[in-house]
Amino acid sequence: MNTVFAPLIACLIRGGIPSGLSIRGLWTGDGGQDVVEYALLAAFVGVAGWLVLSGIDDTVGAAYLAWLNPNTGVPSLWAPPEPGGGGS
């Protein structure tokens, strides 16, 4: 039997609160600590990623618009051929 759920199962079987279960025991126990740590780590990574991605949004948008500028960007480097310039 899992020791983390043992007090809860005993409570459900006997119909009362077991003597070893107390607020102090819940506060000082380390059952589930790893789950809480992973949840906090996931929240931190999520917030950090959101901040980074929201910060580079304007920079990437400005660079993309500069590439598409018909006067100075990539379209200005393309020279289309003259119409009717070839044939056999």
pLDDT score, position 3: 67
pLDDT score, position 47: 97
pLDDT score, position 87: 55
Amino acid at 63: A
Map tokens 């025991």 to a residue: 25
Amino acid at 62: A
Residue ranges, the chain, pLDDT below 70: 1-4, 7, 10-12, 14-27, 85-88
Two tokens, residue 9: 């199962």
